[in-house]
Every structure is written in structure tokens, then in C-alpha cells.
Amino acid sequence: MKIYRTDQYPLWLPPGHRFPARKYAVLYDAVSAFAAHLFEDAPLASDAELAHVHTAAYIEAVTHGTLSKAEQQQIGLPWSPELPQRSRGSVGATLAACRSALVSGCGASLAGGTHHAYADHGSGFCVFNDSAVALKVLLAEGVVRRAMVIDLDVHQGNGTAKLLADEPCLFTLSIHGAHNFPFTKEHSDLDIELEDGCQDEHYLDVLESTLPGLLGAHHPDLVIYLAGADAYAGDRLGRLGLTKAGMAQRDHLVMDWCDRFGVPMAITMGGGYATPIEDTVAIHAATLAEAVRRYGHAHHIGD
């Protein structure tokens, strides 16, 4: 197992910006306490890799800083010289985590989950769509034939759903808040909407009743798991009511079912906007600690 870090690509934001960029450095420090030996620097996604999903004009605009003010507002992040590198690093980390998973059973990114990005524009703090790029690249290489996105960020993976809709071998599952952003939803292969305030028992029942059938029916070669921390009750953008224990049990269920079906898994962080940010970091770190407990020792697919 390898864990790909992106904190070496810092993102400049103006003071008071609502995006919690600081969480990535804090998360790196937290995970270093138990998994420093698994860290690798995230590679930067190339133009050719991004072009599997994104338009040449959009890649050019992000790279050279020609995004309009309206485009930057839609993304929710101002352009800076650091933004292209940070965004490429996030995609590169997810692609590398997928490659690690295919060899060792699991790989992880300390960023990623940028599921609101579309082919020609970004949205919701997402510039390039890491899951869509990674899966399209691996599909084109013939490394995978079927794959699944299990998106448990509290916000629907609208960009991913749209970008992968033309690929019947790439299945998208999104379990998200019914009344949360994005307010106009796309159609994932399976969308499960939850009411505001949804708590542990109902959430976990939904997950337990969904995953076995999907994995058994689709037999993916790879799962990308968006382990968003924003379903937590203390998240300022989440609107659901899960406890930290419930979030940890969510991770256990996803990993248990992937284990039972022998499906390699790449983990990305997705969103998390708790105050204090240390609550978000604790949830992300617990996800990674569970993955390291299961996959952090020498292990190869087929062993």
C-alpha cells in the first residue's frame, strides 16, 4: 500500500476563504504518526492524462491563468500560480493510488475526491475531476475493464456522474444529502438521497443493504472510494447527523465488502468542513488508519 501526499503543492487562498486548505498539512502530520513509511509524493497529472476527460481549452485556461472571473467564481477558488500544480497533483495522486491498489489491494491519496469538476469547467472547489481522469486513463490502458466509484461525500458526485455516463463499464454510486449542493443533480448509475439530519443507524443500514448487491452484480476490477468527512454532524456544510463512530463504521463496511469480493480499492479524501478543522482531520485520519491496519503490510492481489 502507498499513500500519496499533496501538501507539497500548497494552495494560496486569500485570508478568510471558506475552503479549508490548511487541513491537508494537518492531515499529513496526523497520518505521519502511523504511516510515514507508506508516503510517496504525488506525481503531477500530464496534459495527456487530463485530456481523457477535460477539454484542451479548459486545461489551457487553468494552466495559464486565463479563467474568467465567472469561471473562478464557479470553481470557488481564485486562480493563482499554485492552482494548476495543486490541481494536477490531486489528479496524479488518485491515479497513482489506483495503480498502487491494483498491485497491493489498496492505495490512498491525502487529497482528491474532486467530483464536481466537468469537462470544460470546475465547480464546488473542484478544478479537475480526479476519479474520472484516473478511471478513463486506466480503461484506455486496458489495466481495468470494469470499475466502480463509491462516492460517500455528502454532496452528489455530479461531475463524475456526467463524465462517466458514456462508459457502461464504469459504475457510479453516490449516497448524498438530498437538499445539499449541487442543487441541480446529475444522474449517477445509482443515487441514494438522504434527508437532512440522517443519523448513523439509517445511513449504515442503507450502505449495508446496497454494497453487496452492487459489488456482486458488477464485479469491478477496482473501486475508488470517496471517503468524504462531511457527513459528520459537526460539518458546517454537511447537514447530516453522523457521529465520528458512525463515520468509522462506514469505512469498515466499505472495506469489508471490498475485501469479501476481492476488489482493490483506492481511497480519496473528498470534502470536510468541520469547525474546528481538527474534527475533519480526525475523521480522514481514522479512514486511513483503518486502511493501513488492513493493507499496510506486504500484500499483493492474489496472495
* pLDDT, tens only, 248-271: 999 999 999 999 999 999 999 999
Q: CA 292 from chain center: how many Å?
A: 17
Average pLDDT taken over every residue of the chain? 97
At 200 the pLDDT is: 99
- The DSSP 8-state label assigned to residue 112 in this structure reads -
Model confidence pLDDT, tens digit, residues 236-247: 999 999 999 999
* pLDDT surpassing 50 at residue 123: yes
pLDDT band with cut points at 50, 70 and 90 for residue 303: very low
Measure Cα distances from 239 to 139, 210, 279 in Å. 35, 22, 16
Q: What is the CATH superfamily name and number for domain 2-9+20-295?
A: Histone deacetylase domain (3.40.800.20)
Reading phi first (left if > 0) and then psi (alpha if -120 to 50, else beta), residue 160 is in: alpha
All three cell numbers of 35:
504511516
What pLDDT, on a 0 to 100 scale, did the predictor assign at position 8? 93
pLDDT (tens digit, 9 = 90+) per residue, 17-74?
Answer: 999 999 999 999 999 999 999 999 999 999 999 999 999 999 999 999 999 999 999 9
Q: Considering only CA atoms, which of 27, 35, 28 is closest in space to residue 294?
A: 35
Model pLDDT, residue 299: 52
Summarize pLDDT for 83-103 with one digit per residue, the tens.
999 999 999 999 999 999 999
pLDDT digits 0-9 by tens, 149-204: 999 999 999 999 999 999 999 999 999 999 999 999 999 999 999 999 999 999 99
Q: Is pLDDT of 298 > 70?
A: no
Is a pLDDT exceeding 60 seen at residue 113? yes
The grid cell for 125 is: 472547489
3-state class (DSSP) for residue 247: helix
**Could you tell me the three cell numbers for 277?**
478543522
What are the cell numbers at 107?
A: 492505495
HEC per residue, 9-61: CCCCCCCCCCCCCCHHHHHHHHHHHHHHHHEEECCCCCHHHHCCCCCHHHHHH
| pLDDT level of residue 297 (50, 70, 90 thresholds) | confident
DSSP state string for 255-298:
HHHHHHTT--EEEE-----BSSHHHHHHHHHHHHHHHHHHHSSS
Q: How many residues does the chain have?
A: 303
Domain boundaries, the chain: 2-9+20-295
Alpha-carbon distance of 266 to 283, in angstroms, equals 17
Q: Tell me which residue has cell 493493507.
A: 295
What percent of the chain is helix, strand and coil (3-state, nearest 5)?
45, 15, 40
Q: What pLDDT score was predicted for residue 302?
A: 43
Cα 206 to Cα 222: distance, rounded to the nearest angstrom: 22
Q: How far is CA 273 from the centre of its chain?
A: 15
Q: Of the candidates 116, 132, 136, which has an alpha carbon nearest to the alpha carbon of residue 124?
A: 116
Bridge-based pairing of strands 147-151 and 222-226 is parallel
What mean pLDDT is predicted for residues 139-158?
99
Q: Which amino acid is at 189?
A: D
pTM, two decimals, is 0.97
